[in-house]
Amino acid sequence: MRLFRSWHWLVVIVVFTAVAATLLVQDIKINNFVRDGFELGLDLEGGSHLVFQSERENPTDTQMEGVISVIRKRVDSFGVTEPLIQRMGADRVLVQLPGVTDVDEAEALIGKTAQLEFKQRDCDDINCDTFTDSEIGLTGENLTDAFVSTDPTAGYPIINLRFDSQGATIFGEVTGGIAGTNNRLAIFLDDEELIAPTAQRAILTGQAVIFRNNPPFSIEQAELITLQLEAGRLPVPLIAIERRTVDATLGADALEKSRIAGIAGGLLVALFMVLYYRVPGLLAAIALGLYVALVLALFKLIPVTLTLAGIAAFVLSIGMAVDANILIFERMREELRTGRSMRAAVDVGFNRAWPAIRDSNLSTFIIVGVLWWFGERLGASLVQGFAVTLFIGVAASMFSAIFVTRTFLRLAASTPLAKRLVLFIPATAKARTQNRLS
């Protein structure tokens, strides 16, 4: 038992030392790991909300995946932190850009059709550090298919290309001109280079294979390039069917009111716990403060993009964190009324309250999973934000109840306070307990 209590203390100390460091240090930089504060969602930070629909009827999954890949690349040019880009149904794409207020520019950049283009690259040196690219009249319209397969000899992924008759003619002329040289065929998507392979020989059949040695393509790299080629081969025109700008001032006002509401709610809960449960309530209030710090640190480290709905879920999880403590304290009171010692009442109270705590939290996790699934299917980012924040809050509340509150109560049970039952149960209950014992 002594070792178990020491282990409890070790867990609590390590976790909350990390929490304090995370919250106090604004900029966290460890190798490639960088966190510089809390990420705010579109409704709090302001920005652009756009929904695009394909003008092509019944686009395939591959086409839509290619479209999303291209949109993601284009969004990177905005320098947006935590953009939301996801598919809605069969032919729609939701794009949310926190901090981007020029919705017209965003729509113009994101909604344009992907442009795939092939150019001949004439190298000026052996490493092709300096070169000249020239137009050859070969575009994505000439590409009929692009897919990933495996080299039958070496077993590594390769990219297969197929061109129409016009494209096969141009491709054959270009590859014949650069075969055996250091010159290359550069492939561009939206003026950004995807790959620039050399040619071993003239390819006249209109079917080509792109491979790489030392190291070869990974399956993920090959699939990504294929998706980008597909996006240019099969242009899927997009039309904006919904667009709006969220005012950052409105978001700041909502954030401030949410902060005030959260602080007021937390203080009222803590006051109730202290007045009703006395010393256990005070310990629960302290644990509740540590719980809030833990959740905020997790939001910063993961990071979680905070939305107004997510903050509401966080405030809700504070109340749910108190639920676990109430179950434990009520079980403790019952054990104290039967005449158990304080230390025994703490252990038995936790053990008997744990099944109810476990089952209630598991049912919450199931609801969280359902909310996340519906939010993803319907493109409801606010629902997803609520689900993520609630999941983190409930998981942290279980840790707080099992480790933090239990450790504090065991500490209190080893002090002279444990001899004064009036600090743990109401005076009337204490009197009834003493009468039964006498």
Enumerate the domain spans of the chain.
Answer: 2-39+247-437, 47-113+237-245, 116-233
Does the reported pTM lie above 0.75? no
d(CA 427, CA 433): 10
pLDDT of res. 186: 94
Average of per-residue pLDDT across 395-407? 83
Taking only the tens place, the pLDDT of each residue in 307-327 is 778 888 888 888 788 888 888
d(CA 264, CA 98): 28
Report whether pLDDT(30) > 60. Answer: no
Domain 2-39+247-437 has CATH 1.20.58.220: no
Instruction: Classify 303 as helix, strand or coil.
Output: coil
Average the pLDDT over each of 60-74, 309-323, 363-377, 420-434 and give the range with the smallest value. 420-434
| DSSP β-ladder status, 116-123 and 84-88 | unpaired
pLDDT of res. 37: 65
Residues 381/94, Cβ–Cβ less than 8 Å: yes
Lookup result for tokens 């109340």:
319
DSSP state string for 32-54: TEEE-S-EE-HHHH-EEEEEEEE
d(CA 368, CA 423): 38
pLDDT of res. 233: 60
What is the architecture of the domain spanning 47-113+237-245? 2-Layer Sandwich (3.30)
Average of per-residue pLDDT across 182-197? 89
Q: How many helices (H) and strands (E) does the chain have?
A: 13, 15
Which of the given ranges, 92-101, 163-172, 225-234, 385-394, has the highest pLDDT on average?
A: 163-172
pLDDT of res. 255: 73
Taking only the tens place, the pLDDT of each residue in 343-352 is 888 888 888 8
**For residue 109, what are the CA distances in angstroms to 76, 94, 157?**
11, 15, 32
Provide the pLDDT confidence category of residue 85 given band limits of 50, 70 and 90: confident
Provide the pLDDT confidence category of residue 198 given band limits of 50, 70 and 90: very high
What is the architecture of the domain spanning 116-233? 2-Layer Sandwich (3.30)
Q: Which of 200, 193, 153 minimizes the C-alpha distance to 210?
A: 200
Q: H or E element: which one contains 149? A: strand 143-150
Q: Give the 3-state DSSP-derived string for 325-371, with helices as H, strands as E and coil as C.
A: HHHHHHHHHHHHHCCCCHHHHHHHHHHHHHHHHHHHHHHHHHHHHHH
Report whether pLDDT(25) > 70. Answer: no
Report whether pLDDT(433) > 70. Answer: no
Provide the pLDDT confidence category of residue 224 given band limits of 50, 70 and 90: confident
| CA 362, chain centre distance (Å) | 21
Taking only the tens place, the pLDDT of each residue in 40-66 is 777 777 788 888 888 888 888 877 887
DSSP summary character for residue 88: E
DSSP summary character for residue 114: P
User: Which segments of 202-310 are extended strands (E)?
Assistant: 207-210, 238-246, 305-306
| DSSP β-ladder status, 184-189 and 116-123 | antiparallel
Task: Please report how many Cα atoms fall inside a 13 Å half-sphere around the Cα of residue 420, on the Cβ side.
Answer: 9
Report whether pLDDT(365) > 90. Answer: yes
pLDDT of res. 438: 46
Give the residue, 108 or 173, on which the prediction is more confident.
173
Structure tokens belonging to residue 197: 């392979």
d(CA 70, CA 93): 12
Give the residue, 137 or 249, on which the prediction is more confident.
137
DSSP summary character for residue 247: -
Residues 98/40, Cβ–Cβ less than 8 Å: yes
Average pLDDT value for the chain: 80
Do 2-39+247-437 and 47-113+237-245 agree at the fold level? no
Residues in the chain: 438
Instruction: Classify 121 as helix, strand or coil.
Output: strand
Contacting residues for 260 by C-beta, under 8 A, at least 6 apart: none
